[in-house]
Amino acid sequence: MKQVRIGLLGFGTVGGGTATILNQTLKTIERRLNGQITLKIEQVAVRDLSLSREADVDKLSFTDSAMEVVENPQVDIVVELMGGTTIAKQCIERAIELGKPVVTANKALIAEQGNQLFKLAEQKAVPIAYEAAVAGGIPIIKALREGLSANQIEWVAGIINGTGNYILTEMKKPGADFSEVLKTAQALGYAEADPTFDVEGIDAAHKLTIMASIAFGIPLQFEKVYTEGISQVTAEDIQFAKQLGYEIKHLGIASRSDNGYSLRVHPTLIPDSVLIAQVNGVMNAVMVSGNHVGSTLYYGPGAGAGPTASAVVADIVDLVRGLHQPPDDRVPALGFGLDQLETASVIDIDAITTAFYLRFFVKDNAGVLAKVTSILARFNINIELLHQEPSNQNPDDATLVMITNAVPESDFNAAVRALESLDSIDGKIARIRVDALD
């Protein structure tokens, strides 16, 4: 039986999970490889050799030099799981130069520098696999790139950050507060000490960049993704949304239109009748709409040792199967050859048309609602749903909550500025986009 040897860069949660899966599931993997190939971890690079490891490490060889692993002549496939965009990039480039296939879970590196890496890989006829970079254990890359290849993808919308989804789920509970829920998420290990990447949408933007590129056949364009976090969403917003028949989710949305592509990450009200609205806790889910298949939903754990390592090992198996396949017969990394990628523009957020949820305080005086509706009408904004109740903060105020029709964002922003200039409105207006996902 032929042995394919793996060089593992990183032995944290996912690296240790990868070693565990290969140890526990090797017989099944060998069967999937027709009983002709076995896999072995040849060498592992870690930052600190003195640390104890939870995974079974008795038969593993460790080094603190990642490049040593890449250049080890006994290593056939390089698996990069250490993260970052500097040393990881250097190691992947070197592996490609040496003709060694690469598996990575590095969403930031793929989203920000994948165009260059895939170009180098194509020149050297070396495959790069990265299923684990998006949505952990959900095989969304393969679904978009291969399973739905008969379709023109119209849009993709996903809950692709478990930390943010956990926070919004917990904020449904009575008395919940964003800062307190975030502390709980950190204590449980769902959020980092610095949660910026999760709660401000950067992590989701990396993942959306990758999905949009595969879905539409466009270059990776992370810098053009509109990104908005969840720190301004209140428990009050979540409760009002529920009363109106909606759930608030932090979504990554990519869609095509006649004048380009929309790439955006932001809190979104979605009807509670849509399946993805019921995805709670740390779970991920992605909806994809194709012109032939219609809407499909992919659901599962988006992080963790087992789910993410499962995707890593699946990529290893795929690469091993295709080691001797002619490069032109392989599935392109982005589903389209680099010379087939479109250079269509990404639409600025101000030109996007969506419905909106608004919440604001008004002085409980006669004629206030008439002033509000008059300003909205000036910008061709209609009120589709309206809710009013006494304010908990000031007995002289009322809370107005409304959902509008779909309007260009630039018009909506102008209307909000006009509303906030009224003496009868107290403070800033809370606003969240609304999408029916249909």
* Residue 413: C-alpha distances to residues 64, 248, 417, 433 (Å): 52, 20, 6, 12
Q: Are strands 77-80 and 128-129 parallel, antiparallel or unpaired?
A: unpaired
Mapped onto helix, strand or coil, the DSSP state of residue 368 is helix
Separation between Cα atoms, residue 313 and residue 316, nearest integer Å: 5
Neighbours of 9 (CB within 10 A): 27
Separation between Cα atoms, residue 199 and residue 184, nearest integer Å: 14
In which residue are the tokens 């909506």 written?
Answer: 412
Q: Are strands 62-63 and 37-45 parallel, antiparallel or unpaired?
A: parallel
Q: What type of residue is 271?
A: P
Mapped onto helix, strand or coil, the DSSP state of residue 191 is coil
Q: Are strands 283-290 and 128-129 parallel, antiparallel or unpaired?
A: unpaired
Q: Is 27 a catalytic residue?
A: no
Q: How many helices (H) and strands (E) does the chain have?
A: 14, 17
Q: Which of 207, 249, 371, 428 is catalytic?
A: 207
* Residue 203: C-alpha distances to residues 43, 89, 185, 285, 425 (Å): 29, 18, 16, 15, 35
Q: Which two tokens stand for residue 374?
A: 């008059």
Separation between Cα atoms, residue 340 and residue 343, nearest integer Å: 10
Separation between Cα atoms, residue 342 and residue 170, nearest integer Å: 41
Residues marked as catalytic: 207
